[in-house]
Amino acid sequence: MQRHQLVNNLEKLKLLLPSEIADNKDHPRISLEDINHVTQTFHNDDCIGIGGFGRVFKGNLQDGDGFKTIVVKRLDTRLGQGKQEFLSELQMLLDCKHENVIGRVGHCDEMSEKIIVYKLPKRKVNLTNERKPNKVKKKNPLI
């Protein structure tokens, strides 16, 4: 997506209210009650990481007769992110369909909570935006 398209989308996004996003079939809403249930009310045992958006939790959400493992990103405004970043991420996930983008299950925007729920990726990925220090490879002294 080109820069001017992203800017236009962000401008449109500023006009959206969370209720308008919730009405979009591509942005299904998940109740806070359900998210609290699958994360044991955001228990530390279910926390799998932390990043600029906030803590990331793992849980199992009922899916028909079975369960699917999900990842829950919970916004923590003390880390500098807010409503605009929450809405921007939702819009980006709606616009960007690619094999390297983790699928989103839904979101929650109840009370003061801003939460995005993703499918658990099949391979290990960094959901927290934390970066590991680059390892410097030593040159082989024999070469």
Say if 132 falls within a structural domain.
no
Q: Up-side HSE of residue 17: CA atoms within 13 Å toward CB?
A: 3
Instruction: Going residue by residue through the chain, which has 143 residues, state the pLDDT in tens, using 9 for 90 and above.
Output: 555 555 455 454 444 444 445 445 656 889 999 999 999 999 999 999 998 899 999 998 887 888 888 999 999 999 888 988 898 888 888 777 777 777 788 899 999 999 999 888 776 655 555 554 444 444 444 44
**Total domain count, the chain:** 1
Say if 139 falls within a structural domain.
no
Say if 21 falls within a structural domain.
yes
Bridge partner residues of 75 (DSSP): 54
Say if 56 falls within a structural domain.
yes
Res 24: pLDDT: 58
Interatomic CA distance for residues 64 and 133, integer angstroms: 42
Say if 140 falls within a structural domain.
no
What is the value of pTM for the model shown? 0.67
Range of the domain at 55: 3-119
Say if 25 falls within a structural domain.
yes
CATH of the domain at 26: 3.30.200.20
Res 73: pLDDT: 94
